[in-house]
Structure 1
């Protein structure tokens, strides 16, 4: 296991509060603020047990979002709008060609945030590897899924995570770079990481890898990971400083 301590639940046990099937809503291209408002509504309804667990599947028009640890020097230099959000982490970009999933999941007690994040990463790693990027894994100290390069500066993130848990229900989630442009990462310090790169599935596999191609495999892997059918393994290939450690929260 890559978690810094033993998880609260056995690796083969579900961390969901419910055993009912997860509802999947494929929304297409959705404005970020609209999607955030929808998440908040669904999370409140899930906390009240009015709905079942839900995963939103979508893409966003081009936008930067700044998590609670975003620093002034992270922010874009190209004038593109920034939305300050209530997830963890620093700044990132969303746009067409990037597969975004927002799990609205009521976690079982006791809440284990680290285990939840590791399970999301595990689902991503398995799907990215099965698609052909067989070296993908983790960098200890940094969230997300990474592809190793010839040197630490050439390690590149292919999938990012940013979450929030409120009243025991998860919000925000993951973004897998499929066939999106990388241009907009040049104008920020993505996730606060200046000493490594960003990549896409298409760049790694040297063919067009679409959001549609990756959607069903990732949904299946997420379901397996949350249920304990896909067990978290140690895929760490490097270590690096945590880009959020010791930083103040955005006021």
Structure 2
């Protein structure tokens, strides 16, 4: 396999795809990348953008008590709970949300995991700035927030949770664009009971062109990771 420059990755827009199919695709790409590194070669980097049917996911260190109703009631509503290997607590994925999965070899970019997460956050901050929204980080909490330091006003617009092995990443971020925020009432999002969630549509008072937002975000990814 030819050597890839640090800035190079393959982008795949998976469209509306069920969560399990996307998870299996991620795991396959992740395993291939790790195996390629173990063989002494340079793996290919891949960025997946997905939109899922309603599901909840719980990270490896998440707390079951942050699910606010019995799992059987979830099933009755057609919502499945997945226990997955990323960091972070519980979150929701569903229609109107861009769920991004970078399978990146961080050694090719010359960065560690903390810097990688900061770049993910910056990509979202740069994107929502296009819409006049000021995204910020919150101490001790990954993701992108609006008004993070104002009690009663802090609300998350993008959750981030990743896994890495041999400096290869999987899982990633979930950005609320036109998301039905009522689903977040089923959980303490990301383990917080005293903070809210929001979306671009919620903040602007109107639905957004979902395809255009994806294109804008991918362009920002290419710029920010290409600058390394």
**1:58 aligned to 2:50?**
yes
1:97-138: CA deviation from partner (whole Å, max 9, x where unpaired): 0011100111117761100000000011011111221x2211
* Structure 1 match to 2:11: 24
Residue from 64, 71, 81 that aligns with 1:72: 64
Secondary structure of the residue aligned to 1:108 is helix
Deviation, 1:205, is: 1.1
Looking at structure 1, the residues matched to 131 and 106 of structure 2 have their Cα atoms a distance apart, in angstroms, of 29
* Structure 1 match to 2:211: 212
Kept in 2: contact 1:102–1:172 (CA 8 A): yes
Alignment coverage as a number of residue pairs: 212
The runs of at least 4 consecutive aligned structure 1 residues that moved more than 6 Å come to none
* Structure 2 match to 1:113: 113
Looking at structure 2, the residues matched to 106 and 132 of structure 1 have their Cα atoms a distance apart, in angstroms, of 32
Deviation, 1:53, is: 0.8
* Structure 1 match to 2:144: 145
Looking at structure 1, the residues matched to 165 and 6 of structure 2 have their Cα atoms a distance apart, in angstroms, of 20
* Structure 2 match to 1:162: 161
Looking at structure 1, the residues matched to 115 and 61 of structure 2 have their Cα atoms a distance apart, in angstroms, of 21
1:47-105: CA deviation from partner (whole Å, max 9, x where unpaired): 31575211011101100000012112112415232100000000000000001110011
Looking at structure 1, the residues matched to 179 and 11 of structure 2 have their Cα atoms a distance apart, in angstroms, of 23
Looking at structure 1, the residues matched to 28 and 166 of structure 2 have their Cα atoms a distance apart, in angstroms, of 13
Kept in 2: contact 1:68–1:86 (CA 8 A): yes
Looking at structure 2, the residues matched to 159 and 188 of structure 1 have their Cα atoms a distance apart, in angstroms, of 16
Looking at structure 1, the residues matched to 128 and 111 of structure 2 have their Cα atoms a distance apart, in angstroms, of 27
TM-score normalized with structure 2 length: 0.86
**Larger mean Cα displacement after TM superposition, 140-149 or 123-132:** 140-149
Secondary structure of the residue aligned to 1:194 is coil
Secondary structure of the residue aligned to 2:152 is helix
Looking at structure 2, the residues matched to 86 and 34 of structure 1 have their Cα atoms a distance apart, in angstroms, of 16
Deviation, 1:209, is: 1.5
Name stretches of at least 5 consecutive residues in structure 2 with no aligned partner: none
Secondary structure of the residue aligned to 2:106 is coil
* Structure 2 match to 1:129: 129
* Structure 2 match to 1:46: 33
**Larger mean Cα displacement after TM superposition, 107-116 or 35-44:** 107-116
Secondary structure of the residue aligned to 1:154 is coil
Cα RMSD of the aligned pairs, angstroms, is 2.0
Looking at structure 1, the residues matched to 13 and 148 of structure 2 have their Cα atoms a distance apart, in angstroms, of 34
Secondary structure of the residue aligned to 2:180 is coil
Deviation, 1:180, is: 1.1
1:169-193: CA deviation from partner (whole Å, max 9, x where unpaired): 1100111100110111001111001
Deviation, 1:19, is: 3.0
Larger RCO: 1 or 2 (CA < 8 Å, sep 6+)? 1
